[in-house]
Amino acid sequence: MERQEGEVSVLGFGGMRFADPQAHDQSVATVLRAFEKGVIYFDTTPGYCQDQSEIIIGKAVLEMKKSGKPFYVSTKIE
């Protein structure tokens, strides 16, 4: 794994709780809104939100990549 350096936002976005983990569109929109407001650090893991967090964050990442702006995602191994 390669070490990368950069600055992250003061606030991060934790993917542990979404109002309805099965409502991916709504949850992705929430992540994207945080990104639009300047949050560039996102934390997730497979076990969050009934195993939906990584999927939701992943869908948001596909959209965030289109912006060309930097962002960081961390995850864990269970």
The predicted-structure confidence for 33-69, as pLDDT tens digits, reads as follows 999 999 999 999 988 999 999 999 999 999 999 999 9
Distance of CA 15 to the CA centre of its chain: 6
Q: Give the chain's radius of gyration (CA, Å).
A: 12
Gap between the terminal Cα atoms of the chain: 18
Given pLDDT bands bounded at 50, 70 and 90, which one contains residue 9?
A: confident
Q: Cα-Cα-Cα-Cα dihedral of 35, 65, 68, 66, to 10°?
A: -100
The residue ranges of every structural domain in the chain are 13-74
